[in-house]
């Protein structure tokens, strides 16, 4: 993969939806350590924020002739984030004049489209549907989770810095699951997840609480199982089997 490759799924005058691949950070931060490669003299890591910004500029200028003036590069803001190892739909907006994003693209002073979409994303009416592959056949304490349809899991959570626990609710639907009958048929389930909030690792922690950790999750999963998938089933090293497949926001 080219270190600047990005797929634009949707674009309007007000927003952009890009496909975030696994093992790519949304933006540079001290937490992700994404600047460490450049410090070691290696090829720097290009975050999604920069990839999308450059891709939009390339699209807007590719039909210009040599005599045409190139428009300035437009800044973009992140409306939300996905974990480095996860993949899926990433929503961004253009940074409006007079409301520049901060150095990491967080849009802390943003107004207009960015603020409206952040508010819509945080609304109880928004629906974010993730797809996950988890360890386990969909049975918990003798109950077949695959027969429950959509069900709710609520457990208060602290963020990555500790502090006071806050409400966290996720709806799950165990779509399919299988028992292990050999290396070619591992014990696993396909799960849909719809978090109501955006707590730190919320889906990952809730699934671990159901004894069905996400495959590839080095923080909340099972190291031995993750190693089997990475060494024997070609799962990329930083891949978490979690994908944001659909975003539904209301004005």
Residue 103 has pLDDT above 70, yes or no: no
pLDDT at 39: 55
Residue 227 has pLDDT above 50, yes or no: yes
Q: What confidence tens digit (pLDDT) does each residue in 200-221 have?
A: 999 999 999 999 999 999 999 9
pLDDT at 38: 53
**What does the DSSP assignment read for 35-92?**
THHHHTTSPPP--HHHHHHHHHHHHHHTT--TTSPPPPPPPEEESS---TT-EEEEEE
Local confidence band at 237 (pLDDT 50, 70, 90 cut-offs): confident
* Structure-model confidence comparison of residues 183 and 49, the more confident one: 49
- C-alpha dihedral, 198 to 119 to 48 to 132, nearest 10°: 30
pLDDT at 98: 44
The structure tokens listed for 7 are 């797929």
What's the average model confidence in pLDDT over 7-31?
Answer: 89
Q: What confidence tens digit (pLDDT) does each residue in 46-94 have?
A: 999 999 999 999 988 887 777 777 788 889 999 999 999 999 999 999 9
pLDDT at 36: 58
Residue 105 has pLDDT above 50, yes or no: no
The structure tokens listed for 192 are 């849909």
- The percent of residues in the chain predicted with pLDDT above 90, rounded, is 62
pLDDT at 72: 82
pLDDT at 33: 54
Local confidence band at 229 (pLDDT 50, 70, 90 cut-offs): very high
Residue 244 has pLDDT above 90, yes or no: yes
Average per-residue pLDDT for the chain? 87
The structure tokens listed for 1 are 């993969």
pLDDT at 163: 77
pLDDT at 161: 75
Q: What single-letter DSSP state applies at residue 14?
A: S
Q: Which of 26-40, 48-62, 218-232 has the lowest mean pLDDT?
A: 26-40
What's the average model confidence in pLDDT over 177-202?
Answer: 92
Q: From residue 229, how far is each of 15, 186, 209, 233 by CA, in Å?
A: 36, 10, 21, 5
pLDDT at 5: 80
Q: Measured at the alpha carbon of residue 20, what is the angle toward residues 17 and 23, in degrees to the nearest 5?
A: 165
What's the average model confidence in pLDDT over 18-40?
Answer: 73
- C-alpha dihedral, 123 to 127 to 132 to 137, nearest 10°: 110
């Amino acid at each position: 993969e080219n270190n600047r490759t990005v797929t634009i799924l949707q674009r309007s005058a007000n927003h952009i939806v890009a496909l975030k691949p696994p093992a790519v950070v949304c933006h540079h931060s001290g937490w992700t350590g994404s600047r460490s490669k450049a410090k070691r003299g290696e090829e720097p890591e290009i975050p999604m924020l920069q990839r999308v910004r450059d891709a939009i500029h390339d699209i807007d200028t590719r039909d210009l002739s040599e005599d045409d003036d190139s428009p300035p590069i437009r800044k973009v803001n992140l409306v939300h984030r996905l974990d480095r190892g996860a993949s899926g739909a990433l929503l961004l907006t253009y940074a409006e004049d007079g409301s520049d994003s901060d150095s990491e693209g967080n849009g802390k002073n943003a107004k207009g489209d960015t603020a409206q979409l952040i508010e819509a994303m945080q609304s109880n009416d928004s629906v974010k549907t993730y797809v996950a592959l988890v360890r386990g056949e969909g049975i918990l304490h003798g109950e077949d989770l695959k027969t429950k349809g959509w069900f709710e899991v609520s457990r208060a959570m602290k963020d990555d810095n500790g502090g006071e626990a806050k409400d966290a609710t996720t709806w799950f639907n165990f779509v399919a699951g299988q028992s292990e009958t050999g290396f070619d048929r591992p014990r696993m389930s396909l799960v849909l997840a719809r978090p109501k909030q955006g707590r730190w690792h919320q889906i990952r922690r809730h699934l671990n609480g159901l004894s069905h950790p996400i495959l590839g999750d080095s923080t909340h999963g099972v190291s031995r199982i993750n190693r089997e998938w990475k060494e024997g089933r070609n799962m990329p090293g930083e891949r978490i089997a979690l994908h944001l497949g659909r975003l539904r926001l209301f004005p």
